[in-house]
Amino acid sequence: MRIVKTIDEVRSQVKAWKAEGLTVGLVPTMGYLHEGHASLIAASHRDNDRTVVSDFVNPMQFGPAEDLESYPRDIDHDSAIVEENGGDLIFNPEPDEMYHKGFSSFVDMTVLTEELCGLSRPVHFRGVCTVVAKLFNIVQPNRAYFGKKDAQQLAVIRHMVDDLNMDIEIVGCPIVREEDGLAKSSRNTYLNSEERRAALVLSKAIFHGIDMVRNGEKDCSAVISEMSGIINAEPLARIDYVKIVDCSTMQIITTLDRPALCAIAVYIGNTRLIDNFFTQDVQHGGVL
Ligand code: AMP
């Protein structure tokens, strides 16, 4: 397993692999890896001959008042996780390597970014689409792996690949959770012990929503209202959004009459956490 900092090094390694006829998987991350990232790396290792993990806290996807400076970083810890899960190369560039002086080209998206995190974080998806398009051009993978944890991001990337004719298979992987239900996230490290306990309202609300859908509830406002009630009962929690959208357009729907995404964003103290479920993943008797 190698760690490289430059685009040239990634390109020449991937070129050598492709010359041998090997397939390449890409796992884009912002580092501070946990079992959620590990599951993506393991999936890529299973499906491809070689796996590249990008480890880059992308300044372009953070708003001015967000946590770019405090975002946790630990490349030694990350390299151990990549190695354990069968990754072959970590691309860990400095911001200057990705965005040279005078950088002025962007990939942006409409419609799918109007709701959910796109509404709360106006510059976020332009930063995500631009960096992911760049990573796709740099690595030119056969497949790329994204978590359902960031469900709107997964939908946006699928749409970008389709709209811009990128010849890359996008693979969506299930949410990995802590034993008590909290979705794993690099941002969970911001929580103190009281906040960590309070953060359980997210998964509690999600599991309740899943139960309602499994029991046949079709009215989105009923699901949203009961989930919001659970979150609002926790004094340390403040709802950013609890919404249900069409799973391909990411536009609000009122009735569960098609595949849908139920997504939540909640502040616990100053930490903004997200969680979700896709209605098509909800089955009688087992799930998620
Ligand atoms: P991040 O480093 O937070 O930008 O995440 C990198 C990738 O890991 C994204 O595709 C995320 O959706 C995915 N990911 C993050 N947390 C989880 C999780 N708990 N379960 C599954 N995938 C995750």
Which residues does 137 contact at the CB level (< 8 Å), separation at least 6?
A: none
Q: How many CB atoms lie within 10 A of CB 96?
A: 9
Q: How many CB atoms lie within 10 A of CB 124?
A: 21
Q: Per-residue pLDDT for 58 more than 90? A: yes
Name the token pair of 112.
């799918």
Task: Note whether 255 and 219 are within 8 A (CB).
Answer: yes
Nearest CA to ligand 1 atom 13: 147
Query: Which pLDDT does position 287 carry in this prediction?
Result: 53
Q: What is the pLDDT of residue 286?
A: 47
Tell me: the pLDDT tens digits for 4-30? 999 999 999 999 999 999 999 999 999
- Closest listed residue to residue 118, CA positions, set 285, 268, 261: 261
| pLDDT tens, position by position, 202-214 | 999 999 999 999 9
The per-residue pLDDT for range 98-111, each reduced to its tens digit, is 999 999 999 999 99
Q: Model confidence over 234-281: pLDDT tens digits?
A: 999 999 999 999 999 999 999 999 999 999 999 999 999 999 999 999
Domain boundaries, the chain: 2-173, 186-283
pLDDT the model gives residue 283: 72
Q: Would you give the DSSP letter of residue 182? A: P
What is the third-level CATH fold of 186-283?
Pantoate--beta-alanine Ligase; Chain: A,domain 2 (3.30.1300)
Residues near ligand 1 with C-beta < 6 Å? 29-30, 36-37, 39-40, 146-147, 149-150, 173, 175-176, 183-186
Query: What is 2-173's CATH number?
Result: 3.40.50.620
